[in-house]
A and B are shown apart, each in its own frame.
Chain A
Amino acid sequence: MSTFLGIPRKHAAQEESPLRGALPFPKAARRELANDQLRRNLAHATSVIRSKRALVVDEMPDWEALRDAGAATKTQVMSNLPALLEQFEANVTAHGGVVHWATDAQEANRIVTELVRAQGVDEVIKVKSMATQEIGLNEYLEDNGIAAVETDLAELIVQLGHDTPSHILVPAIHRNRTEVRDIFLAEMEDAPADLTDEPRRLAMAAREHLRRKFLASKVAISGTNFGIAETGTIGVVESEGNGRMCVTLPETLITVMGIEKILPTFTDLEVFLQLLPRSSTGERMNPYTSLWTGVTPGDGPQNFHLILLDNGRTNALADQVGRAALHCIRCSACLNVCPVYERTGGHAYGSVYPGPIGAVLTPQLTGMHGHHDVNSTLPYASSLCGACYDVCPVKIPIPDLLVELRGRAVDADRGRTIPGGWDAAMKAAAWIMSDPTRFAAAEKGLAAGRLVAGRDKKIKHLPFPGSAWTHTKDMPAPPKQTFRQWWKETHHE
């Protein structure tokens, strides 16, 4: 199963990148878990979105059929991606758009910067976009003297707070409204001095601030939810209408699109525009769906540039796990049901793609480079409870993919001169657990555990790594008799 798109195959950058954090997941998680405010915000916000989603999904009689249709379309897209991309490029070009191909973040950032410079501006407005976050576009533009203003309310909060998003769909999910007011007062130059933390007042302040930007900007940058190969149409789906301002008002529109976002035909939108809003915001339909095809004289931006971004995707496509992960439509339903995400938040994952799908997608885009690579810890950031698979609108088998990636993380470390503790333990356990005589002998050894238990038959302190268990909970003392001993005594066959 290998597909080659004719562009050099390589992983996204291995050094410092929006796809790689500084700490392994368990350590980053410990840092985030200590933040009680964060945990309360997350628990509240995710449970609200969860119940909204459940309500609007349950009212759909054909939800499972829709999921199947979405999954089937994505499978079809991945098997025909090269041809679909060429068809898409031809149609965008035929309608007056200019198509650029970028193999990695660096190349995409350079192309965008040159396009912005060509317009002679030093400030651009942005539609919320995961692709541009993945390549660190705002930071790159800033280094080149161009200010990129986020216009999505939550993205604006994150940007003004000199923070990073912690959720794919609700980037400021970790902030509450009092924090938002403080950020606006400190960082938004035109915020009213008497601003309260009333949501309506906060929204009005942002609206005033952004309106000035919309009307003054000559260049806008967007991402994409869908690109239609058949027509060359781009689609952006949003809740606030700020994205629509960006894709209609400025003279120049630059769109960065991950190459996996293709849909074959216009009618495929029928399925995805049902799956996406219900899964992501728990809405029957998203408030704003903007579709544009190249350039229309006298209406909307008169220069349209589309940058097709690889950044590790071709590599992922050539791999079973990666290909399945590329089906993701970034609805973030898996984040909202994940018990790990709910406690740790998005920053624990170190990548712009957090949560269950992030734990699969991120290592696919960057590769996992041995046990020193923090991204090798991401596939373990799950209890494999399976809630993510149940809500995925395109049926990505996330738990299975996580297990396979764990297997690869282990395999990558094989042949180390000094094997890790887990290697030794798991090898020993496999040796014991594949042979009943050895297992029975090990059970005798286990009985020694009775000695360390207190009179209440509880073990309160185990040596490392069992200490990770007994730090917060007791371990029962082993029983006097194993089941097989009891069986022998009671069932003479």
Chain B
Amino acid sequence: MRIALIATCLGDALFPEVAKATTVLLERLGHQVVFPADQVCCGQMHVNTGYLTEAVPVVRQHVEVFEAADFDVAVAPSGSCVGSVRHQQAMVARRVGDTALADRATALAGRTYELSELLVDVLKVTDVGAYYPHRVTYHPTCHSLRMLRVGDKPLQLLRAVQGIDLVELPGADQCCGFGGTFSIKNADTSSAMLADKVGNIVGTGADRCTAGDASCLMNIGGGLSRQDTGIRTIHLAQILASTREQVAA
């Protein structure tokens, strides 16, 4: 299958390992990955901060770039970015009266998937042949859980990983407190939410915390690091791309 990669702006600039792992994984499974080079961002940050008008050119850029690319399905290793593509882009366009753009965004959203959805629902694979020798706990991110309803697809994939010791996270479905600019605008409340999340992760005895979204992991990882817990965060894509030959850090 020809799969277009949405690297996400955060993934491109700050967490390239996540987009790389997604590429490596999909290529290992025998698919052709294309990277539309003019992609930038899905517009989520602007939408969630209330700058809906400013989000329009960002959304238009995303739609035009992916419309022009030649692929079967698009994938992003991020529940919130796919949530933005599916749930917010058309809304933003419609709000400024651009129904044509809204329709184009909706059509594109119809063939855009989050990584675990792509693997389990579209490519029909749960065992991706990964090896990851760590005690891992999984945080289901809010947008994957509630906007996309990915359910236990990430867990199905993780359970099939060899060498992994998967431990359940108490209060897993509670938000980690990131929420994009919420973590800045309501920093104290956000930190209180994160403190509980970090406490729950530490309680599992895991040495790695994984999730399907680099942004939530940036928040959780920031808290784990500041408290010197020794627990590291790793994106689901990196675990799935990890093999006996090359174990992800």
Residues of A within 8 A of B (CB): 25-26, 29-30, 33, 39, 339-340, 343-344, 379-387, 389-390, 400, 403-411, 422, 426-427, 429-430, 432-436, 439, 442-443, 446, 458, 460, 465-466, 468-469, 471-476, 478-479, 481-484, 486-487, 491, 493
Q: Are A409 and B50 touching (Cβ within 8 A)? A: yes
Q: Are B193 and A482 touching (Cβ within 8 A)? A: no
Q: Which residues of B contact A344 (CB under 8 A)?
A: 189, 192
Q: Which residues of B contact A475 (CB under 8 A)?
A: 218, 222
Q: Which residues of B contact A380 (CB under 8 A)?
A: 50, 182, 185-186
Q: Which residues of B contact A465 (CB under 8 A)?
A: 184
Q: How far is the CB of B46 from chain A (nearest CB, A)?
A: 6
Chain A residue nearest to B80 in the complex (CB):
A384
Q: How far is the CB of A390 from chain B (nearest CB, A)?
A: 6
**Other A-B pairs beyond A430-B55, A433-B46, A433-B61, 6, CB < 8 Å:** A343-B192, A384-B48, A385-B179, A386-B145, A426-B49, A476-B15
Q: Are B175 and A387 touching (Cβ within 8 A)? A: yes
Q: For chain B, give the interface size range.
A: 35 or more
Q: How far is the CB of A278 from chain B (nearest CB, A)?
A: 19
Q: Are A410 and B225 touching (Cβ within 8 A)? A: no
Q: Which residues of A contact B39 (CB under 8 A)?
A: 436
Determine if B245 is an interface residue (Cβ-Cβ < 8 Å): no
Q: Which residues of B contact A471 (CB under 8 A)?
A: 187, 191
- Given A473-B219, A479-B14, the answer on whether A400 and B91 have CB atoms closer than 8 Å is yes
Determine if B143 is an interface residue (Cβ-Cβ < 8 Å): yes
Give Cα A446–Cα B175 distance, bound, in whole angstroms: 28
Give Cα A379–Cα B14 distance, bound, in whole angstroms: 29
**22 A-B Cβ contacts within 8 A?**
A26-B185, A26-B189, A29-B186, A33-B188, A380-B186, A383-B175, A384-B180, A385-B142, A407-B53, A429-B54, A430-B57, A434-B57, A436-B38, A436-B40, A439-B41, A468-B184, A473-B194, A473-B226, A483-B16, A484-B7, A484-B37, A487-B23
Give the contacting residue for B182; candidates A383, A426, A429, A479; CB below 8 A: A383
Binding site of B, secondary structure by majority: helix, strand, loop or mixed? Answer: helix
Residues of B within 8 A of A (CB): 7, 9, 11-17, 19-20, 23, 33-35, 37-41, 43, 45-55, 57-58, 60-61, 65, 88, 91, 95, 142-143, 145-147, 173-175, 177-180, 182-195, 218-219, 221-223, 225-226
Give Cα A407–Cα B43 distance, bound, in whole angstroms: 14
Q: Are B147 and A446 touching (Cβ within 8 A)? A: no
Give Cα A435–Cα B19 distance, bound, in whole angstroms: 20
Q: Which residues of A contact B182 (CB under 8 A)?
A: 380, 382-384
Q: Are A472 and B16 touching (Cβ within 8 A)? A: no
Give Cα A26–Cα B187 distance, bound, in whole angstroms: 8
Q: Which residues of A contact B147 (CB under 8 A)?
A: 386
Chain B residue nearest to A30 in the complex (CB):
B188
Give Cα A409–Cα B53 distance, bound, in whole angstroms: 12
Give the contacting residue for B35; candidates A400, A408, A491; CB below 8 A: A491
- Given A434-B60, A468-B184, the answer on whether A382 and B179 have CB atoms closer than 8 Å is yes
- Given A429-B45, A434-B61, A482-B12, the answer on whether A468 and B50 have CB atoms closer than 8 Å is no
Q: How far is the CB of A137 from chain B (nearest CB, A)?
A: 31
Q: How far is the CB of B33 from chain A (nearest CB, A)?
A: 8
Q: How far is the CB of A266 from chain B (nearest CB, A)?
A: 35
> Which 9 pairs, one residue from A and one from B, show the smallest C-beta to C-beta distance?
A383-B179, A406-B50, A473-B222, A386-B146, A385-B175, A434-B57, A468-B187, A430-B54, A483-B16
Give the contacting residue for A379; candidates B33, B50, B173, B189; CB below 8 A: B50
Q: Which residues of A contact B34 (CB under 8 A)?
A: 493
Q: Which residues of B contact A439 (CB under 8 A)?
A: 9, 40-41
Q: Which residues of B contact A429 (CB under 8 A)?
A: 45-46, 54
Q: Which residues of B contact A484 (CB under 8 A)?
A: 7, 12, 35, 37
Chain A residue nearest to B182 in the complex (CB):
A383
Chain A residue nearest to B183 in the complex (CB):
A469
Q: Which residues of A contact B12 (CB under 8 A)?
A: 443, 482-484
Q: Which residues of B contact A382 (CB under 8 A)?
A: 179, 182
Q: How far is the CB of B222 from chain A (nearest CB, A)?
A: 3
Q: Are B50 and A407 touching (Cβ within 8 A)? A: yes
- Given A400-B91, A426-B49, the answer on whether A483 and B189 have CB atoms closer than 8 Å is no
Q: Which residues of B contact A386 (CB under 8 A)?
A: 142-143, 145-147
Q: Which residues of A contact B38 (CB under 8 A)?
A: 436
Q: How far is the CB of A471 from chain B (nearest CB, A)?
A: 6
Give the contacting residue for A430; candidates B46, B175, B219, B225; CB below 8 A: B46
Q: Are A482 and B187 touching (Cβ within 8 A)? A: no
Give Cα A167–Cα B41 distance, bound, in whole angstroms: 39
Q: How far is the CB of B225 from chain A (nearest CB, A)?
A: 4
Q: Are A387 and B146 touching (Cβ within 8 A)? A: yes
Q: Which residues of B contact A466 (CB under 8 A)?
A: 184
Give Cα A381–Cα B50 distance, bound, in whole angstroms: 13
Q: Which residues of B contact A479 (CB under 8 A)?
A: 14-17
Q: How far is the CB of A491 from chain B (nearest CB, A)?
A: 7
Q: How far is the CB of B185 from chain A (nearest CB, A)?
A: 5
Q: Which residues of A contact B14 (CB under 8 A)?
A: 446, 476, 478-479
